[in-house]
Amino acid sequence: MPKAQQLSSANWFGKASAGVIAGFMLTLAICGLLAHFGPLDVGYFSAQSQISMWLMSPVWGLIMSFCFLFRNGVHAWAWLGSGNAVLWGLLLGSQYLVGQGG
């Protein structure tokens, strides 16, 4: 059985940059999906848009906080980058399908 790796402050710049840059893009995708697929009407001043807007900071803060639990910066970039690819693919794909279907 492999030995559990201890958390350390090594490679903090790679982890922090992944949390700031990739985490911000991931937060945009999450809030965009919430605004797009939420149960309320969508408009500039609708409740759903306001909820999406005000959730940006806490969600981004959580992602930035948890990025330090990755083993190193490469793992942080890989996981957050793949999450970005999936969520942005869903968001952009849903925009394309809704635009074509209507």
Place of tokens 């919430």: 34
Sorted by where each begins, the domain ranges of the chain are 12-101
At residue 11 the predicted structure's pLDDT band, cuts being 50, 70 and 90, is confident
Nearest-angstrom CA–CA distance, 19 and 12: 10
User: Across all residues in the chain, what is the average pLDDT?
Assistant: 86
Phi then psi for residue 33, to 5 deg, are -65, -40
With CA atoms as reference, report the closest residue to 29 among 84, 96, 98.
84
Helices and strands (DSSP H and E) totals, the chain: 4, 0
* 5 vs 91, residue with greater confidence: 91
Half-sphere exposure of 40 (CA within 13 A, CB side): 13
DSSP conformational letter for 8 = -
pLDDT in tens, 53-90: 899 999 999 999 999 999 899 999 999 999 999 999 99
